[in-house]
Structure 1
Amino acid sequence: MIPGLLGLHHVTATVDQAQPDLDFCLGVLGLRLVKQTVNFDNHRVFHFYYGDRRGAPGTIWTTFPYHGQGVRVGTIGAGQVVSTAFSVPVASLPWWQDRLAAAGVALLATDARPDDAPRLRLHDPSGLVMELVGSEQDERAPWTNGGVGEEQAIRGLHSVALHVHDAGPTLDFLHEVLGCTVHHGDGDAAVVDVGRGGPGARLEVRSGGGVPRGINGIGTVHHVALAIGSEDEQAALREALVLLGVEVTPVRDRQYFRSIYFREPGGVLIEVATVDPGFTWDEPLDALGTSLRLPSWQEADRAAIAAGLPPIRVSPAR
């Protein structure tokens, strides 16, 4: 077991059109756009990062709007993150219910969950399953310039739910290799604390139920990223994974963090990302998300890249 995992870092999803994604995340959820850049593997596609004021690890939701790029609609299922939860004050849930209704967002039925936390369940514009989970234990400072007051605003990610066909190998891997703490629940779900645990540092592992195999595409989560304290700890984790026979990528430079990627035994793609250098690496804190940022190796092609992206407007939240 290698120490160093701190909690969630971010969750990345494949979505449909860029503008509805911006309007929903900014105008309805009240998140901050902390970075607009491109998919480093396909510069015809935006990569939006949403989060708190700084884009702190554990608050970050990121999207690839793949509309018009020949990407099929995906299937949410086993071997994937099947839902992403955001943390809000528990007393704010009735306010959020009214806000979502006013925005035309229908609520989905909720089921029994191992943590028994009250929640609202919904679809985003691309069909992704999201939840707003009421918490009395989340002391993170929210982003409040997004049209949502401090008493209601999202504090960051709460947790993500993974679905696998067989929970045993997944839970063993999370505990024995990644050092997570597993709390076995009743039935087919377990809560897994990453690092300190609690809101922003929690996974839920589900199994059973005859769920079909997930297929990546629009309306599905591509991967979940866990935060690690340093590049040295990341390198030690990578070496340990290689020795265990886990197929893991080389370290990749994502400009705002360094990353490695691998799949846990149930097939869910996991990224481990460093905390530093963070989103102020290439623009000031007060200007985060206000202009297109490109990695240094793509700057020479800025005009052509910008021309190939769909037009967007970053509207203030309602």
Structure 2
Amino acid sequence: MQGLLLALLRDDAAAVRLAALRATERISCPEAIPLIVRMLAEDRMYEAAAQALVAHGDEGVDALRQAASPDASGRLGRAALRVPDVLGRIGSRAAFGVLRGLLHARADGLRHAAIDAVCQLLRMRPALRGEVEDLQDLLLAEVGRATVLQSLRDDFRWLEGTDLLMDTLEEMRRGCLRRVFALLGVLFPQMDMEAIRRGVMEGAGEVRANALEVLDNTLKGEIHDRLLGPLLEPFGAPEGSVENATARLRALMEWNDGWLQACVLHAAGRGRLIEALPEVEAAAESPDALVRETALWARGQITQKN
């Protein structure tokens, strides 16, 4: 039976592989776990693969840990970003141990997914709360990152051709704040932090003022000061210089985020920033196809004659 399942999981037909995945929820097949983990990368297979791994429980934890590790070139496979969700669904102490380690992953996407999964698991199993000692540090790191993203967005407001980059920075900032409020929900389980987040981020007038007042009365110390300062205020007035914008673009190219790098290159090309040409030239050799192709386009925009 296990040999047949393995063969079906490797079948060329997606419908056959999907049926085999669903069968592994009922039939234990440890030899199939590496195959199932790889299938997390396929959108059509993801949910069935996740449920199959949950059914296998701790048998799949080590394979999931390996899938969340970077390859020899330092890059993560697509399945890696889906590992935290599956570990959280398994919910065992072994799975939780791996999940805690991913809270400090170097890759932003993996770390963000781990924070989401940990927060969801701790809401369901508050007894595990004492096993994560650095929730406040994680929260403050996300607050700091959101503050940096807001500052970057302010710097580009005046520069033409940066709409895509500014939208990306704002989306990233809001993602940071969503994780901040998820962590606050764990630290203050008696509060509906999701409702407060909506009031602060999406509300207006009295709704927003009331949400901020609740935070002001609830939060203390460094969290209070850093979250309720300029972070939640409107963006600053447009101002800056080409030199400052170029320095910011260079700094953003160091971030481990291919889409963000592509947006930076797009802004450099739209703005025809000759000062950013060295970074554009370097990005033209990137192993990331999107980054490489955007760099080639930006180089053409910057170097073309009027």
* TM-score bin, normalised by smaller chain: under 0.3
Higher helix share: 2
> Which structure has more strand as a fraction of its residues?
1
- TM-score (structure 1 length as normaliser): 0.25
TM-score (norm 2): 0.26
Higher relative contact order (CA 8 A, sep 6+): 1
